Structure 1
């Protein structure tokens, strides 16, 4: 990883407007000086105006998170999907033929600007179409494995995140007994559900395929932000699209699978992994905020994280999740 030219403070303190514009010029773009920051906390992402051309999206990867080889695998996967006509927004290849460049200690990628809004996953036809595209995305993802990017290791990740949170000093002392007694139960029941699922194949997946990372415009669909792509089970790209009560989620899941299996067979025992994955996401989100608390953007945009109310609500949500882990898995309606 290149060294950030900032001896003190957070690495993103070095990302001034001048550095951003200099980076774009160094990459060969003729900029018009217009910069608009977009909502992104893990990385820094900007809409950048280009002379006599549409604006582009510049992504400055968070220093220390991914190395160059891991970013290269993300980009290669995106380009494979694009070449197979799976609708993704892939990084642009620059004049030197690469899609990654370095400037002032940052790895940077540039993407074409695409508009749209999140899909309405309450619509059956939308879920069916999403399922179709995910089946095709996973067909490409199964062609070969990632070698540099990490695999989704649910139990190892859950143990590491709960241990980090316990040592962070952020959990109020009066809530620690509840936290300390709850965590082993959560991990135990996650293990049991993983055992229920049995052997599960892994493949290259999007990794963070919620509705906010999908754009729909004029009946066209686009998957964006493969920053969390990794080796993992297919269900990770499906369950985040489910919402509502148990019956609603069962209907949505059945519709999603009907579209999915137009192109790819799905191992139905993977549904036992949904609640463990949901548990992991709840815990990892809190651990992510704790790990990023030295980034000035996080206390600014997530002030509630440092309040006792957050932790009492978080523990309550995890207790509810424990009940979900003990319940039967999501139903398969109709032919499912």
Structure 2
């Protein structure tokens, strides 16, 4: 078999003679080429169809991931809202406890007679200091832990203040129930304790108290805190008020024009319990004042001139 090749320049030509082996090889290539192209086309079609089949599955998987992430985000948001609500309630509780501590502190300041301008619980305490370099191993505590630590400190302060309050209250009660002073705000002592000439008979008679004369209707005051155990008329005493002060002490206030308290009332030191008058066995406006210790009458003079605690 001869192949003639004609060139473009000068119309030159060349003859190529093919052997039988080459001829058979070329024929084989001509038959194999279409088969190879068909196989390549089939492989490419299968590959593309496989990719197209994977695409919907991948989209569904991504959609499921997005739904799960949205649900997790919603759960986190709900949890954060619950924690914030709990923290708000906790802060309100701590604030109420701080207000209670302020009230207790103000009462202690008042009871102890401390300067109110130096211990003003309505103003935040003055603090300050240079900026210190933070420690390398310091970790900021969580909000809930910080709040719990603050609550624990407040609980400790509450216990300490309660103890101090009890001590001050006991001391104040001891001072208030300490029998001392005069049972009047204005007037003078007109008769002492002991034997004297009876104002009606002129004979020597025992006088179990002291008399303070004054203006009719003037105030009669308790010489110590206590509980009223008698309030009303009694023979010889006229209108009588009796106060039990505890620790074995009891006082009486007689010849009252008007009584201001009733049995069972709690009176404080210097409270007005009656008005001066001349009821009962009396020659004029005055108060007959008696002091009893452990059931026995004692000279009130020792308590009238007694220095208060």
Question: Do these two structures clear the TM 0.5 threshold for a shared fold by scoring above it?
Answer: no
More relative contact order, 1 or 2 (CA 8 Å, 6+ apart): 1
Look at both structures and tell me which one has the larger radius of gyration over its CA atoms. Answer: 2
Give the structure with the larger helix fraction.
Answer: 1
TM-score, scaled to structure 2: 0.19
